[in-house]
Amino acid sequence: MLASAFVLFFLTKYLLKNEVEEELLSDQENIENIISNTDSLVTVPPIIESKKVDFPQSSKFSDTLIYDSKKQQSALFRQLSETKLINGQYYKITVRDMLIDTEEIIMTIVFTFLLIILLVFIFLFYLNKSHNAKLWMPFFSSLEKLKKFSLTSNETMVFEESEIVEFEELNKEVLILTKKVQADYQNLKQFTEDVSHEMQTPLAIIGTKIESFLNEATIKNKEFLQLSSLKNDINRLKQLNKKLVLLTKLDNEQFSNIETIDVNEELDELVLNFRELSLTQICYEPVDKIVIEADRHLIHILLNNLMTNAIKYCIEEGSISLITKTNSLIVSNTGKQAIVNPEKLFNRFYRENKQFKSTGLGLAIVKKICERYDYDLTYYFESNSHHFKIGFLKTF
């Protein structure tokens, strides 16, 4: 582009110079005709000069500078000097014409080319943008549908047709993959439900039989203790089954019933129920009101698990505290010392104290529910108390 600008500059300069020389030749011919007809000299300084000479001189083109008193600067002229024999007398005729300033030509060409480059750049930019938008439209359309893809939906994804072979192959493979994922999800869901159902029946039968043995008058004390322990294990197995099914459903995002929930009202009912069931002192301070949008069943499980954990691990003659303030809930229970491995606290089947028989899934479920709704869950030990804090980031 820059080289063509230089070529255009020299070509324009040559053409202008050639045009001026043709004008000078025409003017000289006209002056020659005037002198021939009138035998008088024609002089228009500094453009035209004519004078009589005694002998012929060679003709030539040349450049000359002539001072312009009005502009107070010298101007560049192209001139033609030639001797002509007219009516037996030699006349030297000189004609001049001003040349366009080279700097003006350069500036004009540079400005023109910059303008052309700018316009071409803008045109190509929007042309390329429009072309890319049209080219990638099927891809982004497929991407949007993938973002809205849900395992719980049985609808088959439909992608826009594309003239690009790669996009068509991508859509085809994605369609196969989503169908397989949906099928695997449905199989896993059915398997979970089947296992849960099939386990409940034999567990219920075993529990009933154990209960009948316990009610017999002839049972010995040792057998009674063994059967009671077995009954507790059966009950714990039932709870384990329910919690594992719940975790599986959470992993599969099967809870989608969203509604507005007043957390304070849920806590009012929960605290009332636990005060009736437990002798542990429970202090509830609803400083601020918390309203969220979530699945009510999951929030009930979340709050219930935190309360159950607090009561289970609260020391004798200790107390439990619940505080709601600034979009957060803090559940605390008195304790003797901090947890040794707090980083493992929310892991499945982790129990800090082995003497407490539990499924080890309560806090894991709490963590999973918090992850489901992007709640901030933290634990810390302070002032001889264990504290669990939940930040309800999405409040209304």
What are the pLDDT digits (tens) for 346-392? Answer: 776 666 665 555 666 778 888 888 888 888 888 888 888 889 898 88
Residue 148 forms part of a structural domain: no
CATH at residue 367: 3.30.565.10
Are 171 and 206 found together in one domain? yes
Provide CB contacts within 8 A for 366, sequence distance 6+.
302, 305, 306, 309, 346, 377, 388
Pairing of strands 281-286, 319-325: parallel
Are 289 and 367 found together in one domain? yes
Distance between CA atoms of residues 250 and 368, nearest Å: 7
pLDDT at 210 over 60: yes
Domain boundary among 100, 132, 154: 100
Which pLDDT score, from 0 to 100, does residue 38 have?
A: 83
The boundaries of the domain holding residue 210 are 165-251
Are 273 and 242 found together in one domain? no
Q: Are 171 and 141 in contact (CB under 8 A)?
A: no
Domain boundary among 221, 251, 281: 251
User: For the chain, what percent of residues have pLDDT higher than 90?
Assistant: 1
Residue 114 forms part of a structural domain: no
* 3-state SS class at 162: coil
Residue 140 forms part of a structural domain: no
Q: Are 250 and 297 in contact (CB under 8 A)?
A: no
Distances, alpha carbon 102 to alpha carbons 14, 114, 262, 355, in Å: 11, 18, 83, 100
Tens of pLDDT along 287-311? 888 888 888 888 888 888 888 888 8
Exposure class string for 74-86: b at 16+ Cβ within 10 A, else e: eeebbbbbbebeb
Are 263 and 383 found together in one domain? yes
Pairing of strands 328-334, 319-325: antiparallel
Domain boundary among 251, 276, 299: 251
Q: How many domains does the chain have?
A: 3
Distance between CA atoms of residues 18 and 15, nearest Å: 5
Are 224 and 298 found together in one domain? no
How many residues are listed for the chain in this entry?
396
